[in-house]
Structure 1
Amino acid sequence: MNSHDIIMILVMTFPMFIFTVYPAIVLSDYLERHHQIQENKKRIVLVSVTFLGALILSALLYLV
Structure 2
Amino acid sequence: MTLHDVMIILVMTFPMFLFTIYPGIWLSDYLAKHHEIKESQKRSVMVTVTFLSALLLSSLLYYV
TM-score (norm 2): 0.98
Corresponding residue for 1:37?
37
1:13-36 alpha-carbon deviations (Å, 9 max, x no partner): 000000000010000000000000
Q: Does residue 1:22 correspond to 2:31, yes or no? A: no
Q: Unpaired segments of 5 or more residues in structure 1?
A: none
Q: Shift in Å at residue 11 of structure 1?
A: 0.2
Aligned length: 64
Corresponding residue for 1:10?
10
TM-score (norm 1): 0.98
Q: Unpaired segments of 5 or more residues in structure 2?
A: none
Corresponding residue for 2:52?
52
